Amino acid sequence: MLTGKEPAQAIKDEVAERITKLGKRVGLATVLVGDDPASEVYVRMKHKAAAKVGMYTYDHHIPGDTPQGEVEDLVRNLNADPAVDGILVQLPLPDGLNPDTVIDIIDPGKDADGLHPYSLGLIMLERSGGAVPATPQGIMKMLDFYDIETEGKLAVVIGRSRLVGRPMGMLLNHKAANSTVVYAHSRTKDLESITAMADILIVAAGRPGLVTVNGVKPGAVVVDVGINRVDDQLVGDVDFDSIAEVASAITPVPGGVGPMTIASLLLNTVALAETRAEAG
Ligand code: NAD
């Protein structure tokens, strides 16, 4: 089983060391708009993890009816604040707010979640120097930690969101990974026959039970990104028990990709702080 705890701890240990070596305060600011309970939990977990590695956190929790202009002004203030090295705007934003224009305003040099168009542009070009979206980065680091070969493998990614699916496919497509990538999404026809070809199957749809054992090739590596609340329990997008019997490796939900996402956010933040320190 591909659990996230050990590889996430390895990243967090590295982050703590890099903060000590940097010898200055590293600050992560979070922006949470509204009272979505799941988002509140995620932001709390991010703060806790940041504090544990020695990062300072700045918590901006504002009402769900805050006008777009005020949310954007908050981000502009954080851009200008020298104590802030990384900015995370927790998604999704409440209905009525446009996440694109909020994210566009984040200084790419403080883009802790790696979702700014500049950061994503660097990913498309396979160029270093920007933040890498936290969840796909965490998955790549997890595959690396468990010595899972990506070169020449057929990787099927279900989902094409800015947050997970699309950058995930790009990272697997990079020469550093050399997978052959197929994107599947809500308009894909005959999903099962496509996923059944995958050596590496990444599922990021937010649909519980989307992938059953019939859609998994024996020996495949299955990464379940989905987080869904069903009957008061957290479940992923795949039928874990039956797939675990045929897959060579599978991530659990919870305890798989989630911890890697948080660790990657911290890694992005310390890397941004180092770049800012170098630039003086
Ligand atoms: P999203 O809603 O923005 O995107 C979902 C994607 O899945 C879309 O591209 C859509 O085309 C595709 N999709 C939807 N239904 C489908 C279907 N029936 N068949 C094939 N494709 C389908 O969601 P997102 O932000 O990318 O998140 C996806 C899931 O991952 C959610 O459950 C979310 O909670 C979870 N998530 C987990 C982490 C983590 O750290 N574990 C991080 C981010 C998101």
Domain 21-109 has CATH 3.40.1360.10: no
46 is catalytic: yes
Angle at 67 between CA 42 and CA 81, to 5 degrees: 65
52 is catalytic: no
Residue 208: exposed, middle, or buried by beta-carbon count in 10 A (0-12, 13-18, 19+)? Answer: middle
Å from CA of 249 to ligand 1 middle: 21
**Ligand 1 atom nearest to CA at 164:** 26
Å from CA of 54 to ligand 1 middle: 31
Give me the torsion for CA of 15, 17, 21, 26, rounded to 10°: 40
pTM of the model: 0.98
The domain limits of the chain are 21-109, 134-258
What stretches of 79-237 adopt beta strand conformation (E)?
86-89, 154-158, 180-184, 200-203, 221-224, 228-230, 233-235
pLDDT > 90? residue 49:
yes
Contacts of residue 117, defined as CB under 8 A and 6 or more positions apart, other chains included, come to 103, 104
pLDDT > 90? residue 195:
yes
Closest Cα partner for 193 from 222, 214, 165? 214
The CATH fold of domain 134-258? Rossmann fold (3.40.50)
**Per-residue pLDDT reduced to its tens digit, 5-21:** 999 999 999 999 999 99
**Ligand 1 atom nearest to CA at 158:** 21
Strand ranges of the sheet holding 27-33, from the earlier edge strand across to the other edge: 56-62, 27-33, 86-89
Closest Cα partner for 29 from 280, 208, 256, 272? 272
- Going by pLDDT thresholds of 50, 70 and 90, the confidence category of residue 243 is very high
What stretches of 63-132 adopt beta strand conformation (E)?
86-89
90 is catalytic: yes
**Per-residue pLDDT reduced to its tens digit, 206-236:** 999 999 999 999 999 999 999 999 999 999 9
pLDDT at 14: 98
**Per-residue pLDDT reduced to its tens digit, 159-174:** 999 999 999 999 999 9
CB of 185 shorter than 6 A to ligand 1: yes
pLDDT at 19: 98
Q: Could you tell me which residues are beta bridge partners of residue 155? A: 181, 200
CATH topology of 21-109 equal to that of 134-258? yes
Angle at 274 between CA 269 and CA 275, to 5 degrees: 100
Count CB atoms within 10 A of the CB of residue 96. Answer: 10
**Per-residue pLDDT reduced to its tens digit, 54-67:** 999 999 999 999 99
pLDDT > 90? residue 51:
yes
Residue 183 backbone phi and psi in degrees, to 5: -95, 130
CB of 135 shorter than 6 A to ligand 1: yes
**Per-residue pLDDT reduced to its tens digit, 103-140:** 999 999 999 999 999 999 999 999 999 999 999 999 99
Q: Give the whole-angstrom CA distance, residue 240 versus residue 224.
A: 9
CB of 170 shorter than 6 A to ligand 1: no
